[in-house]
Structure 1
Amino acid sequence: MGTSKLGGYMKIVLPILLGTAIYAFGLLYFIIPNQLMEGGVTGVTILLKYAFGISPSISNLVLNIPLFLLGWRILGGRQIIYTGIGIGSLSFFLWIFEKMMESGWIKTFATDYILASLYAGVTLGAGLGIVFRFGGTTGGSDIVARILGKKYGFSMGQIILTIDVIIIGLSLFYVAIENILYTLVAVFIASRVIDFIQEGAYAAKAFTIISDRAPEIADTITKEMDRGVTLIPAIGAYSKQAKHMAYCVVSRTEIRRLNGIAKSIDPRAFIIISDVHDVHGEGFRED
């Protein structure tokens, strides 16, 4: 394997390791000490910990083997390799943090359910979001979520939220209702953080301007804002007249300025503003 190819693999593997480390820390530092829950296979491992004292590092590895084999058939070779790395590294970091807590190197956080659920949501969501963004999973329901996302285009966060709510609902037989309610807060926050990381930290706004004076608006935006604009030919469905649409992506701080330019040139301009995420290219994020 060449140096450049190895470097490419490491750029994927290292973030997956970081993500599973954050996720494992959130489970052992915020979830388990406060008798909270999680969804999917991870939720089952936590229930086994509560009921029988079985180490999550062991049960996570054992329960994920069948799902790993299923993922191998559906997701493909390279992707499932990253999933295997995610499963193995999660069990490894769970074991590491367990030993650190047993030795007293890390003190558990078990004082405030509200703070615990908030921090659990952030850490678990950040960990999973990083893993997902670089093509891995931590096994369990994550494999199911990635399969459904690949086939039907559903949001990873939405799929995880749905599966987690079902699993957590079943845990009512073992965990107090108050703890389940706090868990739902953590799950919701985690799903938002996952989507935030998946879509990209940099969010912008896309302007679609429909106007008879679209070329003039585009020229003004280019000169005054130094932003690229694309002119798209269009035909009015009612008037049957040819016109242009101007399409431009700007940062959030430039929304008011661009809107003012368009309205000053054509007060009757039809303007559509929509969210865009993870913007790459000149003037935004350069890869």
Structure 2
Amino acid sequence: MKRNKSKRKRNLKNMKFFNTPKITLETVLNILSVIAGSFIFAVGINVFMIAGNLGEGGVTGLSIIFLYAFDIPLAISTLVLNGILLVIGFRFLSKRAMYYTIFAVILMSMFLGLTGSWSIENDEIMLNVLFGGLLIGLGNGLVIRIGATTAGSAIIGRIANKYLDMKIANAILAVDLFVILLSLTVLSVQQVLLTVVAMYTAVKVMDFVIEGLNPKKAITIVSTKPEALGTLINSEIGRGVTMVKGKGFYSRQETDILYVVISRSRLVRLKRLIQKYDENAFVVVNDVNSVLGNSFVKE
């Protein structure tokens, strides 16, 4: 009896061990990206936008209006308003995206509170406009490119991207411009116009970070072990593989060519996998600007 009990205990421990989710390098990098993006965003808002008496778009823009009009702390108002949008976002975004978004919203509100007293004194308002837009766009882009959002209009942007095939950056710009019009209640026309310039800068930077630094890659693989490589790519990389019939021009020998589209974050893993199982494989990597298909929506 004692022997059976000890065996059962060992089995339970083994089951718990194997069921424990693995924290991959990609997950760690995604978390670091969210932390960095949230901090950079907060610095752009406090150090440049608010320090220059400027506004913003989306939920942060509404929170800035509340700050100027009613002296409500930015960290509190953004957390409350983003919380409301997060409830809506659960209906439209994947669970993975929402987990990262909740993390980003909490960090963003925390960093907005921590950097609330930060400022850089200067007599040139355009420095506030340009650097504010640069940091806001960079911060948003670092968060959005891993599949999360900073909530606010970013959630609306991802919904528009998913269902209307509209660029995330353009959807966010449309929502933000509406909020900017409301800013006329607390800002002058000149301040609003300067805010629009900062927002335009932010959108362009964000667009570059999202699409320029993390494009999809189309991989063409000519290998003597196409069946084995195709199975490994499907199981270890988690991507579907298309097999195309090919024929050597000089040898006239027929061969199977593998074709797979993956995100840039998985490219290094794929290259290592190919080198490990077929050092002589011929691999071509091409940039892909746009991919349609349900399997890529959640990436």
TM value normalised by structure 1: 0.66
Q: 1:260 maps to what in 2? A: none
Q: 2:150 maps to what in 1? A: 138
Find out whether 1:35 has 2:47 as its counterpart.
no
Asked if the contact 2:51–2:119 (Cα under 8 Å) also holds between the matched residues in 1, the reply is no
Asked if the contact 1:109–1:116 (Cα under 8 Å) also holds between the matched residues in 2, the reply is no
Alignment of 1:112-151 (within 5 A): 112-151=124-163
| Deviations 1:220-265, CA, capped at 9 Å, x for gaps | xxxxxxxxxxxxxxxxxxxxxxxxxxxxxxxxxxxxxxxxxxxxxx
Q: Tell me the CA shift for residue 107 of structure 1.
A: 3.7
Identical counterparts, % of pairs: 34
Q: 2:84 maps to what in 1? A: 66
Asked if the contact 1:156–1:194 (Cα under 8 Å) also holds between the matched residues in 2, the reply is no
Q: Secondary structure at the match of 2:51?
A: helix
Q: 1:177 maps to what in 2? A: 189
Alignment of 1:76-87 (within 5 A): 76-87=94-105
Q: 2:164 maps to what in 1? A: 152
Task: Count residues with an aligned counterpart.
Answer: 207
Q: Distance between the aligned counterparts of 1:195 and 1:116, measured in 2?
A: 20
Q: 2:72 maps to what in 1? A: 54
Aligned AA for 1:153?
Answer: D
| Deviations 1:146-184, CA, capped at 9 Å, x for gaps | 111111221111111111111101211210111111111
| Deviations 1:55-111, CA, capped at 9 Å, x for gaps | 11111101111111111122121111111011111001111112xx2xxxx443452
- Structure 1 gap ranges (5+): 204-277
Corresponding residue to 2:35 among 8, 13, 17: 17
| Deviations 1:263-283, CA, capped at 9 Å, x for gaps | xxxxxxxxxxxxxxx797757
Q: Distance between the aligned counterparts of 1:67 and 1:3, measured in 2?
A: 29
Q: Distance between the aligned counterparts of 1:43 and 1:107, measured in 2?
A: 18
Aligned AA for 2:162?
Answer: K
Aligned AA for 1:52?
Answer: F
Q: 1:88 maps to what in 2? A: 106
Q: Distance between the aligned counterparts of 1:283 and 1:80, measured in 2?
A: 31
Asked if the contact 1:74–1:147 (Cα under 8 Å) also holds between the matched residues in 2, the reply is yes
Asked if the contact 1:87–1:138 (Cα under 8 Å) also holds between the matched residues in 2, the reply is yes
| Deviations 1:26-72, CA, capped at 9 Å, x for gaps | 00000101111101111011011111211111111011111111111
Q: Secondary structure at the match of 1:130?
A: helix
Q: 2:173 maps to what in 1? A: 161
Q: 2:271 maps to what in 1? A: none
Q: Secondary structure at the match of 2:193?
A: helix
Relative to structure 1, the CA distance from residue 112 to residue 133 in structure 2 (aligned partners, 3 Å threshold; closer, same or farther) is same
